[in-house]
Amino acid sequence: MHQRRCFLSAMLGLALVGLAGQTPQALAQAFPNRPIKFIVPFGPGSGTDTSARYFARQLQELTGQPVVVENKPGANGFIAVKSVLSMPPDGYTVFIGSNSTLAVNAALFKALPYDPVKDFSPLTMMMRSPAMLAASPKAPYSTLQELIRYARQNAGKVNFGAGSAGYQLMGELFNDTAGIKTVHVPFKGAGEAITAVASDTVGYTFAEVTAVQELAKSGKVKALAVAADQRVGTSPDVPTAAEAGLPGFEAYTWVGAVVNVKTPAAETAKLAELFTTISKMQETREFYERLGATPMTGGPMQMHEFQKKEIALWQRIVQKAHVPQQ
């Protein structure tokens, strides 16, 4: 018995020596220590999906844990949101949301089945991409000012296509800023709206830079302006709205990461740190510049404030333009 006690004491001593050389983080089995899941409310190939897959690769390299991207499109993002909120709030499920799911829906729906602010804890903004105004090649206007003059002369007769609720509200923001009235024509996606513009079915549309610039370079549409504070590097010949004669008009699509608000603070903070680290990488900047977008490097507080401002903006536009709430 005495020998057994001596053996156990020796083993305990060795264990304590080994533990003494480890950090508290290592002792706590640092989060994350198993696969992480990204839930995306749009299909593969969308701007949100592209961001999700890029961040998934980078996060996997930083943590050594697999990161899986699951696309759950449909129902204005409700399907994806429900999926995220129904999973354990342990930090292993991240919602990769966008301006539509995290801001626009709050303005468009009377009874939204989730609260984009209260139900989630923000991690960080990931990117933003300015909207580009694309006009039909047959349209009787080739500049932003010409479009505005034409719309004033033909009030209520000029139509614009929108591939989502977000782009619809961008169109209404344009109307409000320019002091014009044009007619919204809905489409199932930005691709359909761009195709309708190219075929002269509608006069113009707003879409992501990547969806417009190649068609513009080939003459299939006319890029009149980019709704940003500076020109886009991949389309340097397209003026900003301010340069084209409409100061104050800016509209962006954006992507941000959030988790269930019930996620423990330590896990939320760690994810925010990891996401912010990725957003500040030079590789990330170069990745988004190729897409005509820019990374957003602010953390949770900056995203929270940005999100609230976006919701207030689109609520004002919905009310002013008398956009029917769903």
- Does pTM surpass 0.85? no
Give the pLDDT mean for 258-280: 97
Domains 36-128+253-320 and 130-226 share a fold: yes
Residues 105-149: tens digit of each pLDDT = 999 998 899 999 999 999 999 999 999 999 999 999 999 999 999
Give me the pLDDT at residue 308, please. 95
Give me the pLDDT at residue 9, please. 47
φ, ψ of residue 263 in degrees (nearest 5): -65, 135
Give me the pLDDT at residue 29, please. 61
Residues 202-256: tens digit of each pLDDT = 999 999 888 898 899 999 999 999 999 999 999 999 999 999 999 999 999 999 9
Domain 130-226 belongs in CATH node 3.40.190.10: yes
- Asked if 182 and 151 touch (Cβ cutoff 8 Å), the reply is yes
How far is residue 88 from each of residues 85, 91, 196, 260, measured CA to CA in Å? 8, 8, 43, 9
Asked if the model's pLDDT at residue 98 lies above 70, the reply is: yes
Peptide bond into 324 cis (omega under 30): no
Task: Measure the CA–CA gap between 143 and 158, rounded to whole angstroms.
Answer: 15
In CATH, the architecture of 36-128+253-320 is: 3-Layer(aba) Sandwich (3.40)
Give me the pLDDT at residue 58, please. 98
Asked if the model's pLDDT at residue 274 lies above 90, the reply is: yes
36-40 and 93-98 beta bridge pairing: parallel
User: Residues with Cβ < 8 Å from 222, sequence gap 6 or more?
Assistant: 134, 135, 136, 137, 139, 142, 216
Nearest residue to 175 (alpha-carbon basis) of 188, 158, 187: 158
For the chain, give every domain's residue range. Answer: 36-128+253-320, 130-226
How far is residue 93 from each of residues 89, 96, 120, 216, measured CA to CA in Å? 7, 10, 12, 39
